[in-house]
Amino acid sequence: MARWRIGMIPAMAGPSEPNPTRPLADQAASKTQRKRESLALQGLGEELTRLTPEQLGQLQLPEHLLEALLEARRISKFGALRRQLQYIGRLMRDVDSAAIAARLRSWKGESRESIAYLHRLERLRARLLEDESAVRELTQSHPGCDTQKLRQLVRNARREQVEGRPPHSFRALFQELRSIVPAEPGAAE
């Protein structure tokens, strides 16, 4: 048995050899960094628990992760929910979390593409309110849209602006444009 000097920690006694069972990337990361990554995955998992089943289906998650997410929705006790979220965080290590996070940002409207799309719709709405021929151009470029409803919303939005009323039709016009104009970049305005 080796004799230790006072104040010496056994782990510091000699050079430690790398653990062959852990990947080199994990060995290089500090404990703090691993904890930070674990909490980030757990937070992402918590966001996933708030999605609808249809949205979860679009993410094409592994079956065991999907089951864990749905189980977390049924748990009401704080301690049990915390443990379930930790479990979900562990399961998230096996999936492409960056792609999932990007998809969540796009659904929330935080990606550049979705922001550009919303700005394009705002410019189109402003053009519709300023120019009478813009409605005709929009209906020609997007056949099948409800022209009568679109014209009515434009008329009501103009009236709201003139009379200083709350912008109900103004907002409804934006929602109608979202249903008409596709989200792909380069779509006609």
User: Tens place of pLDDT for every residue, the chain, 189 residues?
Assistant: 455 555 444 444 444 455 555 555 555 778 899 899 989 999 999 999 998 888 888 888 999 999 999 999 999 899 999 999 999 999 998 898 888 988 888 777 666 777 888 899 999 999 999 998 999 999 899 888 889 999 999 999 999 999 999 999 999 999 999 889 887 644 444
Region for 11 from its dihedrals, namely left if φ exceeds 0, alpha if ψ lies in -120 to 50, beta otherwise: alpha
% helix, strand, coil for the chain, step of 5? 70, 0, 30
What is the DSSP code (8-state) at residue 109? T
Domains and CATH numbers, the chain: 29-108 (1.10.60), 113-180 (1.10.60.30)
State whether residue 146 is helix, strand or coil. Answer: coil
The whole-model pTM stands at: 0.47
Residue labelled with tokens 């929009």: 138
